[in-house]
Amino acid sequence: MRVTAIAAGLAFAMSLSACGSGGGDDGDGGGGDNATPKYNAGVNNVFNPSDKKGGTLKFANDSDFDSLDPGDTYYGYSWNFVRNYARSLVTFKSAPGAKSNELVPDLAESLGKPSTDAKTWTYKLREGIKYEDGTPVKSEDVKYAIARSLDKDVLVNGPTYFNDFLDLKGYAGPYKDKDKTMKKFTAIETPDDRTLIFHLIKPFSGFDYLAMLPSTAPVPAAKDTGTKYKEHVISTGPYKFEKNELGKQFTMVRNDQYDPKTDPDTGRKALPDRIEVQLNVNQADIDQRLQSGALDVAISGVGVQAETRAKILNDPQLKQFADSADQARTWFTSFDNSVKPFDNIHCRKAVMYAVDKEGLLRAYGGSSGGQIATNMMPPLVPGSKKIDLYEAKDKPNGDIDKAKQELQECGQPNGFTTNISYRAEREAEKATAEALQQSLDKVGIKTELKAYPQSDYGKLYAGKKDFSTKNKLGLRVYGWGSDWPDGFGFLSQITDSRVIRDAGNTNFNVNDPEIDAMIDKALGELDEKAREPIWVDIDKKVMENAYYLPTVWARQLLYRPERLTNVFITDAYNMYDYTTLGVQ
Amino acid sequence: MIAYVIRRLIAAVLLIFVVSAVTFLIFFGVPRLGGASAEDLASRYVGKTAGEEQIKLAAERLGFTDPLWEQYGRFAKGLVAGADFDTGTEVDHCPAPCFGYSFITQNPVLPDLLDRLPVTVSLAAGAAILWLFGGVATGVLSALKRGSIFDRAAMGVALAGVSLPIFFTGLLALSIFSYTLEWTPPGGTNPVEQDNPWDWAAALILPWITLALLYAAQYARLTRAGMLETMGEDFIRTARAKGLPERRVVVKHGLRSALTPILTIFGLDLGLLLGGAILTETTFSLPGIGQYAVIAITNQDLPKVLGVTLVGATFIILANLIVDLLYAVVDPRVRTA
Amino acid sequence: MTDQEDIYVEPDTGLPSDAEPPVSGTFLDVRDLYVHFPTDDGVVKSVDGLSFQLDRGATLGIVGESGSGKSVTSLSIMGLHKAGTAQISGEILLNGQNLVGMGRESVRRLRGKDMAMIFQDPLSSMHPYYTVGDQIIEAYRIHHDVSKSVARKHAIDMLDRVGIPNPKSRVDDYPHQFSGGMRQRAMIAMALSCDPELLIADEPTTALDVTVQAQILDLIRDLQQEFNSAVIIITHDLGVVAELADDILVMYAGRAVEYGRADEIFNEPQHPYTWGLLGSMPRLDRERTERLQPIPGTPPSLINVPDGCPFHPRCAYHELNEGRSQTERPVLRDIGGGHQIACHLSAEHRLRLWNDEIKPKL
């Protein structure tokens, strides 16, 4: 399972390209609203706009959701899709390109109102919101939904942001204390049926991103069945479950209790009368069906297979139905500073200079698979900047002289030996490891390649501290995507030393008190304009210290069958928006 | 005979327990022998942001911290007496035989398997009929017309059939018949959810043919070899000497003997397939037991893998038993021996 | 086949081959039979110009080592060679009808009804999955349009006649439930179920132990008298046919080397090969003076038959013929009273050798 494997360390992608910084060489994205098939017509534009209702929208998934329970899901496509049946407090605006990075109120009347110290956040629910059975949604239900999602022992999949930021005072959720009234859950107050007051343990300027999490979608306590709730989620969105066969397929029909008048800001269109989702479908067959029109959307949003990509790009007839989607994901290689001589910054820098950046991009299929990454934060993350400290632009094939100079300073003029680990199942990572090996060989750094199963890569091998040290995994090929499109969503989990643990790490290597302090500063900064440069500084610091070797900012090729309407790539999810699609 | 059947059934049940113990040991014991800690195992079954505390809790909840024999004892007890699992809000009872409770999807394994069984049975049974008749007929004709153009062509096709992988022939078939000609429904159409037998068959015809092609080839070759051997037997000469028409010699005297060993292979093949036609189900996205096995393995969802293994083993053991009993019906020498 | 005219001595039947069936006299007339099998290694000349006759009620013993062509001959008569594998020429006149060249379907209709055959190994020759009764019933019903129960009665009757005790229950037994002798009795019952005029018994006793052998031979003799069938017994063991056969045909390398009345063959055999066969045969009616003497050497290849007399590489006396044995194939010739041999030895030599060297050792 691709997504779970990624899950070990990276979330999926959501992001925004600040206009002009992204896009690379595929800037031929359409101009203006249009209905003529054209390559990249769904990038930054609504392709085939329409308000026509009706029909059945068919999705297929090459694997399965981690869970359909909004309180128990952590896949990007799931967060995108869940909005069809679950409304969170706020959400990303359904709009093409960077416009989707805007958070807009969904259940709430407005975005959160912070206290000046950014430790208390208040939301007020809109009036007239009902569940599919007609009962009104209360603030208590949102509180219950968040409370249950805290219990990672029962609902294991979702993110732990609420666990990390709420002032829980030891509260572990309603399953543990068997109290659905949540008397001990004081971190969220519900003074009336429409008001929610969140108390945080530390300042968090970006709390609206947490209010965006699907786990804020209300769950009526009486209807909660714990791990079995995913079998029939009580809908608040425009669609409700008609039939749900776990692991096989599910169908959704219109929820007649959903009132579009209560949903003025999100941009949901709710065009089809019916949504069908098939699970565990052969990926090769999905690609075939997309091209034949037997299927509308590959729900995982990671694009077509490498073979199909080549076929589509070489056939103008097919290419006109394809969109190249930049991802808020960075493929990188992490040093292990505990493996000598990488404890010496100059030895790390020698590697940074030596590598053939173009060769590493080829490992991911060239420009259709991404662009050369100069720093960690991808261009799609709002406010990010390109920081080219190691001559990616001037010497894309590596700078042997500089590398040798750094080796000299490191005290290893003749090079040294180390190991490169990668995930065995991933062709691109194997190719990356081989490209690294070739480049480093030129400056005398001899390497041996070590492949490990991807399912345990983070938990038992490369991401396990003592294993990595013992096996001298000086270079570890990996990747990371952000949970949401801002600096915190992308950088915190890979640079904050306080998330480092013995095994299952997401932060492989950065243990820098300065960076920790900068992160805390950003968390307390309520002004977005002041906050963004802090994250850029953190990114720069990571590059200066050569903690990571970023290689590629990812890109995927999506296919939009002819009959789809209102198709566009949302930068918030790096795939088509699943709440606006219609069929002809 | 009845005593024999009962004895065999008891042996079968014991064998299933042995298989379960061995499988359990492989999945739960070997990683521990390889140096993985209880937490290492548990770390697969927590969310991606779970901390050490959570992993420890999960290891305890999933029972990885207990001695292996105790873990197996719990599993075996579930098989015999059922087991209870906490969903958070309530206690979910998994009635005997409880094949375990998924670490990933958190539901009992057996209902999943039973739910998926009809798809696999539909697939396996239909394909089995096709390949049995197709393969045997081809094999008989090839044997009778040994060395003819038909024989050479049939054996050539048979070789190709054995060599071509299902994910190739399957996707090709889908591309042609489902997406270009649109004669058959697309991949992933669940046959057991169709409204009428016609649609059921339409959803299965490509998987049937693709799967049957693989086996028919093998059966054609086996039948041909068996027929060639049988037709050289003394009792065939006797049958001819009695003045029987050739057709009767071939069918009643020749085929009957030649098919007996094929029956054994057929039983085992069918048993194996009922445990999941992995490649076919994956290629055509059929929600059967084979697909379930693949999902279980990729997720390293050990209880599911264990469950699939046990179901597969059960089918093979049963198939073996049935074949042995049928053998007694077919061959009187076995009956009295 | 260059010398086929020479080796064939026309028996004086006075009838052309396509004549009307004779009212009496010769029932089976095999004339100049050739059975060749083309193979990748060459043509296997299994039967290479063979003629013999057999009357109703009479018994012919065909004797020879394996590979001499005796079984091929019998299968040719039965029409049991697979289509396309054997090249058969000559004539096989059964009751005046030539079986060679007759349609396969017509021969099939004769098979089992007019001519029947029993085989060497009754266990492998009966189908293991069908009861003995079913197999007899099948044989009967294929030629008689009767109900199953009638056929079953007939089968029980036949089993009774061949001496199977308690035939009413044994009829439902499977072949493996019978003893070896019983099985051969059952085979005989099956062969005789349609009352055939010609019965060919191919090594009928080889697979059986000695006491059972005698019983089976007695049975064949009794039944022959009862049914007045013509019988061919094919064996490598002269002893088997000693008391049963009226005529004996000794075959070597696809041809007859000695052919005559049984008493003559036994009392005054004239061919060294026959002497060899007699020498290798245990005899109960005479005291044994020396160890049994197997014939030295092995039977010849049927693809490359030795020049001259095919037996000469194994013959102790071939040097007595001034090299003719190595160059000239001896023709089957009458040496008086219908006794025929194919040997270059002169009458004097044969008489001396028989009386001085062979006879005393037997």
| Tokens describing residue C184 | 């051969």
Residues with Cβ within 8 Å of residue A411, at least 6 apart in sequence: A341, A344
Say yes or no: B234 contacts chain A, CB-CB below 8 A. no
Give the pLDDT band (50/70/90) at residue A23. very low
Do residue B171 and residue A289 have CB atoms under 8 angstroms apart?
no
Judged by a CB distance cut-off of 8 A, whether residue C121 touches chain B is yes
Amino acid at A173: G
User: Rounded to the nearest 5°, which phi and psi values hold at C40?
Assistant: -65, -25
Q: B232: nearest CA in chain C?
A: C82
Does the pLDDT value for residue A12 go beyond 60?
A: no
Rounded distance between C-alpha atoms, residue B4 and residue B218, angstroms: 32
Q: Does B60 touch chain A (CB under 8 A)?
A: no
Q: Please check whether residue A484 is in contact with residue A101, taking contact to mean a CB–CB distance below 8 angstroms.
A: no
Which residues on A lie below 8 Å from B171 (Cβ)? 282, 284-285, 288
Q: Indicate whether C44 pLDDT > 80.
A: yes
pLDDT score recorded for residue B166: 87
pLDDT at res. C284:
57
Tell me whether residues C127 and B243 touch, CB distance under 8 A: no
Question: CA of A55 to nearest chain B CA: how many angstroms apart?
Answer: 18
What percent of chain A shows pLDDT beyond 90?
A: 78
Q: Which helix (H) or strand (E) holds C50?
A: strand C42-55
Q: Over 70: is that where the pLDDT of C317 sits?
A: yes
pLDDT of residue A31: 44
How far is it, in rounded angstroms, from Cα A246 to Cα A257?
25
% of chain A exceeding 70 in pLDDT: 94
Question: CA angle, C321 as apex, C319 and C323 as ends, to 5°?
Answer: 75
Q: Is C112 on the interface with B (CB under 8 A)?
A: yes
Question: Quick check: C209 and C180 in contact, CB under 8 A?
Answer: yes
C275 at B interface, C-beta within 8 A: no
Residues in chain C: 362
Mean pLDDT rounded to a whole number for chain A: 90
CA distance C243 to C240: 7
Name chain B contacts of A61, Cβ cutoff 8 Å.
none
Q: Above 80 in pLDDT, residue C6?
A: no
Q: Does B336 touch chain C (CB under 8 A)?
A: yes
pLDDT digits (tens, 9 = 90+) for C137-167: 999 999 999 999 999 999 999 999 888 999 9
- Counting one residue from chain A and one from chain B, the pairs whose CB atoms sit within 8 A come to 147
**Alpha-carbon distance B101 to nearest alpha carbon in chain A (angstroms):** 12
Reported as a pLDDT band with limits 50, 70 and 90, residue A545 is: very high
Q: How confident is the model at residue C291 (pLDDT cuts 50, 70, 90)?
A: low
| Residue A26: per-residue pLDDT | 40
Domains contained in chain C, CATH given: 26-245 (3.40.50.300), 271-361 (no CATH)
Residue C208 pLDDT grade (very low, low, confident, very high; cuts 50, 70, 90): confident
Q: Got the DSSP string for B130-183?
A: HHHHHHHHHHHHHHHTTTSHHHHHHHHHHHHHHHS-HHHHHHHHIIIIIIIS--
Contact C189, C162 (CB under 8 A): yes
C to B contact (≥3 Cβ pairs closer than 8 Å):
yes
pLDDT attached to residue A17: 31
Contact yes or no for A64/A56 (Cβ under 8 A): no
| Interchain CB distance below 8 Å, B235 and C126 | yes
Point out the least confidently predicted range of A41-55, A73-87, B35-49, B163-177.
Answer: B35-49
Window B:254-293, CB contacts with A under 8 Å:
282-285, 287, 291-292
Residues A210-229: tens digit of each pLDDT? 999 999 999 999 999 999 99
Quote the minimal CA–CA distance from A5 to chain B in Å: 9
Count of helix runs (H) and strand runs (E) in chain C? 14, 12
Please count the helices (runs of H) and the strands (runs of E) in chain B: 16, 2
Task: Say if residues A553 and A370 touch (Cβ distance below 8 Å).
Answer: yes
- Chain C nearest-CA distance from B225, in A, is 18
Over residues A561-582, the pLDDT tens digits come to: 999 999 999 999 999 999 999 9
- Average the pLDDT over A345-351 and give the result: 96
Calculate mean pLDDT across residues A347-373.
Answer: 94
pLDDT of residue C211: 82
Across the range C241-265, mean pLDDT stands at 91
Rounded to an integer, the average pLDDT of C278-306 is: 74
Name the residue facing B287 among A148, A248, A284 (closest C-beta). A248
Model pLDDT, residue A29: 40
pTM, two decimal places: 0.81
So what's the pLDDT on residue A440?
Answer: 96
How far does the CA of residue C175 sit from the closest CA of chain B (Å)? 9
- Find which of B230, B238, B334, B335 to mutate to test the C interface (most C CBs within 10 Å of its CB): B238
Domain boundaries along the sequence of chain B: 2-108, 110-336
Alpha-carbon distance of A152 to A158, in angstroms, equals 8
For chain B, residues with pLDDT lower than 50 are none
* Mean pLDDT, residues C97-109: 89
Whether B190 contacts B107, CB under 8 Å: no
Contacts of B50 in chain A (CB under 8 A): 152, 156, 160, 504
Say what the pLDDT of residue A242 is.
96
pLDDT given for residue C25 in this prediction: 60
Residue type, position B242, single letter: K
Q: What is the ipTM of this complex?
A: 0.87
User: How would residue C96 be classed by pLDDT, with cut points 50, 70 and 90?
Assistant: confident
Listed in order, strand segments (DSSP E) in A63-155 are: 90-92, 103-105, 113-114, 120-124
Q: What is the second-level CATH architecture of the domain B110-336?
A: Orthogonal Bundle (1.10)
What are the DSSP calls for A267-303, one per residue? Answer: ------SEEEEE-S--HHHHHHHHHHTS-SEETT-S-
